Amino acid sequence: MAPPITFASRPTGVGRARLGSLTTPHGTVDTPQFMPVGTQATVKALTPGDLRAAGVQMILANTYHLSLRPGHERIARLGGLHRFMGWEGPILTDSGGFQVFSLAHLGRVDEDGVTFASHLDGSPQRLTPERAVEIQEALGSDIAMAFDQLVDATLGSSEVAAAMERTHRWAERCLAAHQREDQALFGIVQGGVDPNLRRASVAAIAALPFDGIAIGGLSVGESKDEMAETLDVVAESLAGDPRVRYLMGVGAPPDFFNAVERGIDLFDCVLPTRVARTGQLWTSRGKLNLRNARFLDDPGPPDAECSCETCRNHSRAYLAHLFRAEELLAYRLSSVHNVTYTQDLMRRLRLGLEDGSYGTLRDAVTAHYGAPGREPISGR
């Protein structure tokens, strides 16, 4: 039986950065690549056609949310997640580990799994490694994630170590439970910002027959320097491992560069669409806050260097009006632009690694957005 995915990469001479090609049952993905987040089988405010027009190659959906509503059994009966949401490209599903972290006030973790109250109606729910795999197999994503225990990176080392070791045990249970031959399964490296714990986690997860390696437990409270140092440790520990690498929950423009230079191939984050719905646009000249009064009489496009539907057809003044009038179109047009910007940035980043212009691109993005850091958000 052929593997569910294949990944081929080559070095670029820029740190540990590499250019790659990830082939899945629903298409091939160029890496490095960013995946917009479609938590509930939709990237908020956008249609599949919008995503295709923006250049999106792969998206992320969420096990926890879809299992509660509309239910993974219903999605399976309706032909699987791709058909259900009308997206024919690759899909990666998050296992629900992040929601266990972000909704910790509603749940309790034990060795077998997590018991929690639904954030929708308070009904009792149970999520275990086996259950997380079962749900993702029913959804039919191209790539499933092992169920992990994520904790705040700033907690004491004993708490971080206990969660990491449980993640390793749960990883083995996920592998034992996984049966779907057309679906890849990724393991997740944890360990907070402790270099020794990270090395131990890489060794444990890399020794298992996962199809890819994810780096979890970052962008959850650590400083930007701690994130970079942790990625250095992981990159060194994974040197020579040919599998695709996925940094979970990171998506601010300057952060891509630090991670790519440390060998990261895939990213996801809610940030591009979340800030778009507040009126913040990412442009070739930095951030624009369309709620600022100075844009009410600005006839120019949001970004003169962007060819998205929003920038081709609408002015800053019009978008500023839509936000003040609380028109729903504001969310779609701003999200179309931010997703297009992010995809174009990844395309230019790959081109820069190919033709030697990478450093110039990084300098330009850093000049407009500041040094790599972490945006103050919570959740994927």
Q: Active-site positions?
A: 94, 268
d(CA 140, CA 309): 31
Residues in the chain: 380
* Residue 187 Ramachandran class (φ > 0 left, ψ -120 to 50 alpha, else beta): beta
- Strands of the 143-145 sheet, one edge to the other: 33-36, 266-269, 244-247, 212-215, 184-189, 143-145, 91-94, 59-62
* Helix/strand/coil (H/E/C) assignment for every residue in 256-324: HHHHHCCCCCEEEECHHHHHHCCCEEEECCEEEECCCHHHCCCCCCCCCCCCCHHHHHCCHHHHHHHHH
> Coil, strand or helix: which one is 153?
coil
The helix or strand, by DSSP H or E, that contains position 185, with its residue range, turns out to be: strand 184-189
d(CA 199, CA 205): 10
Q: Report which residue type is found at 289.
A: N
**Rg for the chain (alpha carbons), in Å?**
20
d(CA 45, CA 122): 27
d(CA 203, CA 171): 13
Per the structure block, which two tokens stand in for 74? Answer: 């219903």
Q: Nearest CA to 228 among 259, 196, 257, 191? A: 259
